[in-house]
Amino acid sequence: MKSPFSKVVQGCMGWGLWGKEFSTSAMAELIEHAVSLGLTSFDHADIYGDYTTEQQFGKAYKESSIPRKDLQIISKCGIQYVGETRNNKLKHYQYDAEYIVWSAEKSISDLQCDYLDLLLLHRPSPLMHPDEVAKAVDQLTSEGKIKSFGVSNFTPSQSDLIASKSTISYNQIEFSLTAHEAMFNGSLDHMLLNHITPMCWSPLGNVFREKNDQTYRIHSVLASLSEKYNANKDQVLLAWIMKHPAGILPVVGTTSKERMKNAADAMNIVLSDIDWFELLTASTGHKVP
C-alpha cells in the first residue's frame, strides 16, 4: 500500500527553541516552501522546544495558505522531559491510556490541525503495556483524531508487543549510511515482513559531522557518484536510503530552503545496485560477505 506521506519527510525539531527560533511568519513561509517542493509531511514531537515548537508551528500553519488536506502532520508522545514547561523531577516515559490521549489531543490543539496523520510512541518504555496503548489508540482512532499509529526507536520484539493489540503502520528509527545496523539486526526485515513502513531520523549520519577513515572513504565514493548522477553528496546519501526495499522515508531536519530543495530533488534519484553496494562497502571498510 502506498504511503500517504512524502518520500522525504520534513523534520521540525530545529524550527523552534531547540534551533533557529523562527518567527511565525518565517515559519509559515518555510511550510509553504516545503509543500511547494513536494515535502508535504512534517515530523514533530511534543517535547520539541521544551514542549513549545508544536504550538509555534500551529500558529505558523494557520498563517500559511496550505489547506489541511495538502499536508500530513506527524507527532510523537511519551517522553516526560525535564524542562521549564513541566514539573518533572527526572526524564521518564509515560504510556498509560489517559496520558497518551491527553498528549495527542494537546498536540492536535497546539498544531491547530484537527487531527494527526500519524501518532508515534516516541521511545519504548519498560513499563508500557499493550492493553493500555490499545485503549488510547482505539479511542483516538474512533474519534478521528489520528489517521494511523506507529512507534519510534522500537526493536522488533518491542514492536510485536504493541502490535499484539494495535496495528503498527510506521516505525521511526535511526538509519543512515554510517548507522546501518537496522539492515543487519533484523529490524528492517521485521518491518518489511509486517508491512510496517520505516521512517529514519539523522539520515545523513556522521558523514559531514566527523572526519575519520570511514567518512574519508565515503566522501571519496560520493565525489564520483555525485558527478555520475549530477547530484550533490547529501542527495546521494538520501537516494541510498530510499533504494532499500522496505521503503524507508528519510526525515530531514534542515532549516535551509536550498537544502530542502536538494532533499526534494533526491526523491528522483535511483542508484544502481553496484553504486549502492559501493557506498555500503565504503562505510563498512570491507567487501560484503
Query: pLDDT tens-digit profile of 73-87?
Result: 999 999 999 999 999
Active site residues: 48
For residue 171, which amino acid is it? N
220, part of any domain = no
- The enclosing domain of 73 has a CATH number of 3.20.20.100
**pLDDT bracket for residue 1 (50, 70, 90):** low
Query: Is the pLDDT reported for residue 101 higher than 80?
Result: yes
Q: How many domains does the chain have?
A: 1
216, part of any domain = no
188, part of any domain = yes
Q: pLDDT tens-digit profile of 211-229?
A: 999 999 999 999 999 999 9
For residue 68, which amino acid is it? R
CA pair distance 148, 167, nearest whole angstrom = 8
| DSSP 8-state assignment for residue 2 | -
109, part of any domain = yes
249, part of any domain = yes
Q: pLDDT tens-digit profile of 26-56?
A: 999 999 999 999 999 999 999 999 999 999 9
Give me 221's grid cell.
Answer: 565514493
215, part of any domain = no
283, part of any domain = no
Burial class (CB in 10 A: 0-12, 13-18, 19+), 138: middle
Burial class (CB in 10 A: 0-12, 13-18, 19+), 280: middle
235, part of any domain = no
Burial class (CB in 10 A: 0-12, 13-18, 19+), 67: exposed
User: Which domain covers residue 123, as residue numbers?
Assistant: 9-210+241-269
Q: pTM of whole model > 0.95?
A: yes
